[in-house]
Structure formats: C-alpha cells, structure tokens
Amino acid sequence: MRFAGTIVHIVSNDPVGTKRLTEFFLSKGVNVACFRTAAEYIVAQRDDRPACLILDLILPDLDGLEIQSRLVGNGAPPIIFVTAHGDPISVVRAMKNGAIDFLIEPVDYNQLMADVELAFVEDLNKHKELLERRSLLERWHTLTPREKEVFHYTVAGLLNKQAAAELDVAENTYQVHRGRVMRKMQANSLADLVRMSTRLEPILPKPSQRRICYGTTVVIPGRTEEYEVHSASNLPLSREGWEKASSHASELGRL
C-alpha cells in the first residue's frame, strides 16, 4: 500500500469525528495516532515516518490556533485544520501561519486526502533538507580554523593571491588549504561550494566580523565559535528511517 510508511496525527476532542477520520485513513492504508488534547500530542514522540497533523480548532486545553503558533518552527508536521467551528478570522490566521488547509465539517474527503498527500510530501522534503544540512554541518566541523577562514574567502569570490595576501600566507599555501576545503566539504566546483555556503548560512551563528577585501565583503568566523544546527529537539534524527520513508513517499508521484 502506497501510504504504509506514513502517519496522520489527529488532535480532536470529538470522539465521533475522530472515529470517522480514523476509519477513513485506515481504509486508505494510512497509519493514525489520536490525541484528545494538545498536551497529549505535544509530549508524544515522533518517529521517522512522513506525517501530517489534523487539528481541531477547539480543544479542552488550548485553542487550535495557539497550538499551531507554538508548533510552527519547532519540528511539527504540516497542519490541516478540520473543525465544525470555523470562522473567517480563524481561517485567515491559520492559513497565514502556514496551514495546508482549513476544512469545515462535513469535509470533502477527496479534498482532505489531497491535502494529506501534499502534507506528506512537504514533511518529507523538510526532513530531507534537515538531513542534508546536518551532513553539511558535519563536514564543516571537519575544517580547521584556518580552513574555515579559507572557506569564507573562497566563497566571497576573492582570487587566490588576494585571499592569500589577506591571510598573510603564500599563494601556494592558500591553494593547499583551498584544496583541503574542497575535499572535506565534498565540493566539485566553486559553484558547488558557494551553494553549500548559502545553505549553511541560516544554521551558523553570526560571524565575529565582516571585512571589505578588494571591494568584496568577507565573513570572518571566530576561532572559538561552536556551530550547531538550530533545529527542533523533536525532529527525528534517523537517516536510515527517512531513507526508508522516502521510498514510500516517492510513490505519491510528487517528489
């Protein structure tokens, strides 16, 4: 079954509606996990499967929009609101905050399933991007302090002799460091290294200084800075799990 490696999280205090949704998704081969309150969902641990969150607007402990606001940027899967209590203001807030859709009961199940498929693909792609950034960061950590400086001068577009002069080293020495940077970062070209720099920028701390060299701004990293991925603690870390999930999600035909 093409959805066997996926899961829908349902957070609703409506047992009848939850049962109806659960039966529908199970009939499509989608795994389901149900939570009666926001607190139950928040403390639950996610696994490696592509997921989406179906959220009611009214819950015993928190308003659905408040839950969405708390989850945005914290590793939660894409959200679809399914509720009997919708109003225009809530719809606008939910959609502006990144919801996949806002459906009023009784729902169109064809539309719901289309939304869920889109959410699975979005969740999978988000986690692929996270894994790729973590891989980049692991390679970045293998660079010495001098190689990190060379990295930044290189992606700034300085010529070898210009960067060597800035670092007060011989041009041949700079070229040796640059070659090591390319190998360690697994970059096949300067363009490849620049793409890596662009993807690393959001997850590296602010540079200790910026310098203008030959009309080009160069980011200079601190020698003692610690670099970490700024990711949510509840995101799955298993590369093997996501590779397995990818094979399932690829059957959706949207990857």
Listing from the earlier edge strand, what are the strands of the sheet with 31-35?
Answer: 31-35, 7-11, 51-55, 79-83, 101-104
pLDDT tens profile 66-124: 999 999 877 789 999 999 988 899 999 999 999 999 999 999 999 999 999 999 999 99
Cα(149)–Cα(128) distance, rounded to whole angstroms?
28
Distance CA 179, CA 150 (A): 10
Q: Please report which helix (H) or strand (E) contains residue 62, including its range.
A: none
Please tell me the pTM assigned to this model.
0.68
Domains of the chain, start order: 7-129+233-252 (3.40.50.2300), 136-220 (1.10.10.10)
Nearest alpha carbon to residue 163 among 239, 214, 233: 214
Least confident of 34-43, 163-172, 198-207, 242-251: 242-251
For the segment 133-172, what is each residue's pLDDT rounded down to a tens digit? 889 999 999 999 999 999 999 998 889 999 999 899 999 9
